[in-house]
Structure 1
Amino acid sequence: MYFKFISFLKFLIKSTNQHGVHSPFVFNYVTKCLYSKQKWGKAKSINILLKSIAYFNYKHIELDGNQDLNSLLRIHFPNTVIGGNTIDLVYAEELEIDTLKQLFSEGKLHNNSMIFINSIHQTAKKQKLWRKLVELPIVTVSIDMFHCGVLFIRKEQVKEHFTIRI
C-alpha cells in the first residue's frame, strides 16, 4: 500500500502536462487523444487504452493477461482482430523483455505499434520491469501515465521518455 502511494508522489514530482512535451508525435497524442473529454471506460487505464485504439485506428490487437477486454473491444471496435501476423497494439498486464524482443524480431511489431502495459506502478517488481523495458534499444518513445505506460518503436524518432499527468 505504501509503495504505491510513495510511487505516486514521485510520479507527481516528475510529471508534466502537454507543455513539457517537445515531440510533435507525443504532443498530438497527449492533446488530441489522452486529454480529449471522451470517456470510454470507468478505469483510467482502460479509458486510455480505448481512446488510443480509436485515435490511432488500430485494427490488430494482442491481449496478454486480460481476456475481459475482449468483450469491451467487440462492443466499441467490432472490426478489430485479436492477434495476427502484424500487431498494431499489444496489451499486457506484465510484459517480459524476452516477449517484446521476440515480437520485434519476428516482425510482428511495426513502426506505429504501441505496447500498452497496465499498472506499471502497482508493485516494485512491475516498476522495475517497466524501467527495463524503457531502457531497451528498440523502444524509442515511452510514456509513463502512472496508471499505465505505453511504448513505441518509432524508428524516425530519437529515444525519449515522458512522464505525463492524465
Structure 2
Amino acid sequence: MSTSHQITSYFKFLKRSTNQHGVHSPFVFDLVTKCFYNKSNHVAYKTIKDYINQLLKSNQTIDVKDLGSGSQVFKTNSRLVSKMAKVAGSSFKDAKLLYRLSNYFQFNSILELGTSLGIATHAMHLGNPKAKITTVEGCPNISTFSQNTFNNFNLNNIDLLTGDFTIVINQLKTTTFDLIYFDGNHQKEATLNYFETLLPNSHNNSVFIFDDIYWSKDMTDAWESIKKHPKVTVTIDTYHFGLVFFRKEQAKEHFTIRI
C-alpha cells in the first residue's frame, strides 16, 4: 500500500470534491441528498455495530491463504479475527454507506467479490433482506468462518462461494446483478479483468462499486480506465469507493463527492 500515494490522492480529492451543491444531475443529486447524506440513525446500524464488535472480541485465529494483492499489515498467514476485523474488514462508516445504498436502490441481486469477515455482506443484506446475495471468498478458512458467522446471525439469502474470483465469476455468466461490489483484489490487471468479465452481467440500472480506489497508484490507474469505458456513463468518487453507473439516459459525467 502506497501511503504517500494515498496522502497525495486525498489532498487532490479534497480540492476537486464537492457536495450536493455542485451536482446538476437530478439522479445524482437525489442519490447524494437522500442516500449519501442521510443522517437518520437507522436501527440496522446497531446490528452492524454488534456484528463488528463480535468480530473485534473474537480470540479465534484463521490460517489465511491470500489470493489477492496480499497484506501490508500481516506478516504471517495465521491471523487473529479481531485484528482482521480492525484492519481488513469494512469500516463501520463504509458499512453504513453500503447499507444505505442497498436500502436506497433496493437491489434484488448482489454479487460481492471478497467476502472477508462478512461485514459488508451483512450491511448490504440489512439494506434489503429480500436480496439474493452471492459473495465470493478466495480463502477456504475465511469462507468457513464467515459462513458460520452468517448462520449465527441468521442471515438468509446469502450464497457464499469459495474459490479464485476469475474461475467463480466465469461460472456466473447467466446471472444478472443489480449491484456488484468489488472488494477482493486491489491489483490493476485483476480489477480490470473482473470489470470486463462482469460487464455482461449488468443492465441499464446496475451499479458497480469499487473499494479502495486510491489503495495504490495501480488501483487508481484501473479506476481511471474504468471511468473512460464507453459503457460507463456516470461515476462517483467518494475517495474510499468508486461508484459506476451504466444509465444510457444519463450524459457521461464524473462526480467527486465528499461524504
Asked if Structure 1 and Structure 2 have the same fold, meaning a TM-score greater than 0.5 normalized by the shorter chain, the answer is: yes
1:46-99 Cα deviation digits (max 9, x unpaired): 222211110011110001023413344445532110247220000012462333
The one-letter code sitting in structure 1 at the alignment partner of 2:128 is F
TM-score by length of 2: 0.59
Structure 1's 124 and 33: CA in aligned 2 closer, same or farther, altered over 3 A? same
Choose the corresponding residue for 2:182, options 68, 72, 92. Answer: 92
Would you say how many aligned residue pairs link Structure 1 and Structure 2?
Answer: 164
Q: Show CA shifts across 1:24-61 (max 9, x none).
A: 10000000100001354653322222111100111100
In 2, distance between residues paired with 1:118 and 1:12? 18
SS at match of 2:101: helix
Distance 1:76 1:31, change over 3 A: closer
TM-score, structure 1 normalization: 0.89
1:145 pairs, out of 225, 230, 238, with 238
Structure 2 distance, partners of 1:135, 1:66, is: 28
Where in structure 1 do 4 or more consecutive aligned residues deviate above 6 Å? none
Q: Rg: which structure is higher? A: 2
Label 1:19 to 1:71 Cα distance change in 2 as closer, same or farther (>3 A).
closer
Task: Label 1:72 to 1:49 Cα distance change in 2 as closer, same or farther (>3 A).
Answer: closer
Query: Where do residues 60-75 of structure 1 align in structure 2 (5 Å cutoff)?
Result: 60-67=109-116, 68=118, 69-75=120-126
Amino acid at match of 2:114: G
Contact kept? 1:60, 1:88, Cα under 8 Å: yes
Unaligned ranges ≥5, structure 2: 49-90, 135-171
Per residue, is there more strand in 1 or in 2? 1
Which ranges in structure 1 are unaligned for 5 or more consecutive residues? none
Q: 1:22: Cα distance to partner?
A: 1.0
Are the equivalent residues in 1 in contact too, given 2:102–2:124 (CA < 8 A)? Answer: no
RMSD: 1.9
- Paired residue for 1:18? 20
Q: Which residue of 2 aligns with 1:32?
A: 34
Question: Aligned with 1:112: secondary structure?
Answer: coil
- Matched residue, 2:251: 158
Partner Cα separation in structure 2 for residue 56 and residue 6 of structure 1: 33
**Overall identity of the aligned pairs, in %:** 38
Partner amino acid, structure 1, of 2:195: L
